[in-house]
A = this chain, B = another copy of it.
Amino acid sequence: MIVDDHPMVIEGLKSLLDDEDGILIKDCFTDGQSTLDYLDANTVDVILLDVNLPDINGVDMVQPILNRRKEVKIIVLSTYNEGSIVSKMINSGVKGYLLKNVGANELTNAIHQVFKGGVYYDKTIQIILAEAAAQEFVQLPKLTRREKDILNLIAAGKRTNDIAEELFISPLTVETHRRNLMQKLKVPNSAAMVRFAMENGLI
């Protein structure tokens, strides 16, 4: 089964796989819900699953699929720029991971290997996984609710007194939070903090 919201990608996969012995394309879908509906009544051996579906996020597709048909092997198709979700995907139980610039050979290899019970990860994916493992060490300190509030207000350019007024607390308290924030994030001042926060998705 092929699931991808781009008809042209589906066509491409079809023609890449058409002449291949042992591979038959049973059905294709362009969104998540109809895929799940189909799996309520039918099953397949292997699913080629795009991560960018219009309705349901790729990561959130894996469990629902496996809940319905735990025997199906999922091969994820994505592009380079989605490194952050790779490890989530792998952990959620997908058996293969390919980039969309894959050639016909690698594609059929992956399908056969996964069908036989193995796994297949693209070379690039393996590098991304290694990097993710390395980054895991440098995990972000977690901020409290109040700290996030204040971080946002600082990033909005508010001054301590403005923030205090807005939150109905003492300016001294705001200062305390600000100092704790800078300590936690290991930055020397607010400007650096805003940058760090934006780079790390805290804002």
Contacts and interface: CB of A to CB of B under 8 A. Distances in A.
Interface of A: 5-16, 30, 52, 79, 100-104, 107, 154-157, 159, 187-195, 198-199, 203
Tell me the dominant secondary structure on chain A's binding face. helix
Contact of A15 (B12, B107, B191): B12
Contacts of A198: 194-195, 198-199
A156 to B, nearest CB: 7
Contacts of A13: 8, 11-12
Closest CB pairs A-B (n = 8): A157-B192, A12-B12, A8-B12, A11-B12, A190-B191, A194-B194, A11-B15, A6-B100
Given A9-B9, A13-B8, A198-B198, A154 B191 contact: yes
A107 to B, nearest CB: 8
B192 A101 contact: no
Contacts of A195: 155-157, 194, 198, 203
A93 to B, nearest CB: 24
B190 A7 contact: no
Contacts of A188: 157, 159
A4 to B, nearest CB: 9
